[in-house]
A and B are shown apart, each in its own frame.
Chain A
Amino acid sequence: MRRVDFHSLALLLIFAALVLFMQATAPLFHWLFPDNPRPVFLRASFLELTLAHAELVLVSAGAAAAFAIGIGVFVTRRAGREFLPIVGALAAIGQTFPPAAVLALAVPALGYGEAPTLLALFLYSILPVLEATIAGLHAVPADIHEAADGVGFSPAAKLLRIELPLAAPYIVAGMRTSVIIAIGTATIGSTIGALSLGSPIVEGLAAENTPYVIQGAVVVALFAILVDRVFEMLERRLAIPSRSEWPASQPRPAAAVAAP
């Protein structure tokens, strides 16, 4: 891997400083918004908000990735091949639902707070990983399948030791997309009471307190960029040293996912 690049390091330091010492920006915001009596969000610390936000993303995107990889593996096996078209269609439909609609529908069933947010993020995070898993498994060349069968791998051993490692760069690219989307979408959870970096944004919008919106948006954007960098490093490390036609990764998701 490359040596630590200073750009990422600088972003990390700014992010950490803002998360830990947001109050220190008070003079800046006083100066920018002289009429605002409380220009720094204080209901919860930004450390608390960031941890809650990370937890939402980690739990939902993690569960979605595990689920999506499992389904992706199933529909590429002989037994599950006939489900491939319907699974693809269902996942695509899931993606067309706006997150706000999922939240609105989930609230009556699950109440306010974290649970409906987790559900919406979970549903949202499935498709990118599912598509990537299917694409990655399909991209394993036919001669590699033939060689693996020919030397006597059992189907399970072939999956674990040949197919999934070769599909890993695709799968990680899919997880990168889904996690970045989840980081942005998790902010919406605050409209139904989940604590996240969306809380200052939502409160700021409701109370017409622009500094809150700026503080939440900057921190969540930095968070998304940093996580994207981590995935970039991971992809580079997983890249299969291989034939030239192997794609480096799927199209990169846009990193700047700020407040909705």
Chain B
Amino acid sequence: MIEFDAAAKSYAGQRVLGPLTLSIPQGGLCVLVGPSGCGKSTTLKMINALIVPDAGTVSTDGTPVQSRSPEELRRGIGYVIQSGGLFPHWRVRDNIATVPRLLRWEEARIAARVNELAQIVAIDGALLDRFPHQLSGGQQQRIGVARALAADPGIILMDEPFGALDPVTRASLQTELARLHRETGKTIVFVTHDMDEALALGTMIVVMQKGEIAQSGTPAEILAQPRNDFVRDFVGGDDAALKLLEFRTIENVVRHGVRISGDAIPVSTTLRSAFARMMAEGRTALPVEDESGLYLGIIHIDSLLAASKASCGA
């Protein structure tokens, strides 16, 4: 649980952030999203006290971050930055071991943990003895994630971690981050300016504008009910309806009926994939089966349209 209570920050008399009140639940993957200069990174850095608010408080698990020494606080919070920020004079192995060494773990325990982390972030063990510059951008970012996870912190902060990667590498790291989040149950705060990345990853999205929260909520809420024009534009205007289809499955749209010809789609298919399938096949109805391959019924394009309209309008 991370809580901002009226936290604000000014530089040279110019208010850049807040007052910001926000609560990020335990185990959530909260994405702070917005254009450059909206204060999303500033918000993130208040959590590990790299930036100290002029007014208000930020607390993790009920303890104000200012009540602890910055070093102690930060060793308990994973931190990943855009460039990776790996120490160029240390081998990958030592980069991953940074926080455990600061916490004075025994070397045997550190070595075991490093090997374990290499598996978690899917890095070949042979890379552990290389230097950061010998790795690709994607590999460096995996090492950055491994370093953040090393001492098993409850909170991970990620500041545009995939911003500098090519689209393919970025998509694969997004998938792995989502998996990592499911498997570890850590609270992750993720900063990006890419709304699609936010929608792909977040369990909670905070759209920021000019140092304030424009809207926060689940991806579906933000897409379905943008609070103002800024949010509406940021989620893609009319495209939001298309994006929203990603967040619902056809489960409640299936109608019972006589089996029609063609390959059946599983009931866990998203509305979006079902639409895509219809377009690709040039059909207005598709057969549906459950996970075990049992025939369930059909979906018709009219029900898809009705369902999409319902989720948009609500």
Residues of A within 8 Å of B72, CB to CB, are 152
Q: How far is the CA of A143 from the CA of B99 in the complex (A)?
A: 17
Q: How far is the CA of A56 from the CA of B144 in the complex (A)?
A: 48
Q: Determine if B75 is an interface residue (Cβ-Cβ < 8 Å).
A: yes
Verify B89–A147 contact, CB threshold 8 A: no
Q: Determine if A97 is an interface residue (Cβ-Cβ < 8 Å).
A: no
Q: How far is the CA of A246 from the CA of B89 in the complex (A)?
A: 12
Q: Determine if B74 is an interface residue (Cβ-Cβ < 8 Å).
A: yes
Q: How far is the CA of A165 from the CA of B131 in the complex (A)?
A: 15
Verify B50–A146 contact, CB threshold 8 A: yes
Q: Which of B82, B84, B88 contacts A166 (CB 8 A)?
A: B88
Verify A146–B85 contact, CB threshold 8 A: yes
Q: Determine if A149 is an interface residue (Cβ-Cβ < 8 Å).
A: yes
Verify B147–A151 contact, CB threshold 8 A: yes
Verify B81–A149 contact, CB threshold 8 A: no
Residues of B within 8 Å of A147, CB to CB, are 79, 81, 85-87
Interface size on A, residues (CB 8 A): 22
Verify B102–A157 contact, CB threshold 8 A: yes
Q: How far is the CA of A147 from the CA of B88 in the complex (A)?
A: 12
Verify B87–A153 contact, CB threshold 8 A: no
| Given A157-B102, A241-B133, A242-B133, also A150-B48 (CB < 8 A) | yes
| A-B contacts, CB under 8 A, total | 67
Q: Determine if A162 is an interface residue (Cβ-Cβ < 8 Å).
A: yes
Residues of A within 8 Å of B81, CB to CB, are 143, 146-147, 150
Verify A144–B87 contact, CB threshold 8 A: yes
Residue with the greatest number of chain B CB neighbours at <10 A, chosen from A141, A143, A148, A244: A143
Q: Determine if A96 is an interface residue (Cβ-Cβ < 8 Å).
A: no
Q: Determine if A240 is an interface residue (Cβ-Cβ < 8 Å).
A: yes
Q: Determine if A243 is an interface residue (Cβ-Cβ < 8 Å).
A: yes
Verify B99–A144 contact, CB threshold 8 A: no
Verify B74–A152 contact, CB threshold 8 A: yes
Verify A241–B85 contact, CB threshold 8 A: no
Q: Determine if B83 is an interface residue (Cβ-Cβ < 8 Å).
A: yes
* B58 CB, nearest partner CB in chain A, Å: 15
Residues of B within 8 Å of A153, CB to CB, are 71, 102
Binding site for B on A (CB under 8 A): 141, 143-144, 146-154, 157, 162, 165-166, 240-244, 246
Q: A165-B89, A241-B131, A243-B133 are in contact. List 12 more A-B contacts (CB 8 A).
A: A143-B84, A144-B87, A147-B81, A147-B87, A150-B50, A151-B74, A151-B79, A151-B99, A152-B70, A152-B71, A152-B72, A240-B89
Binding site for A on B (CB under 8 A): 48, 50, 70-75, 79, 81-89, 98-99, 102, 131-134, 147, 157
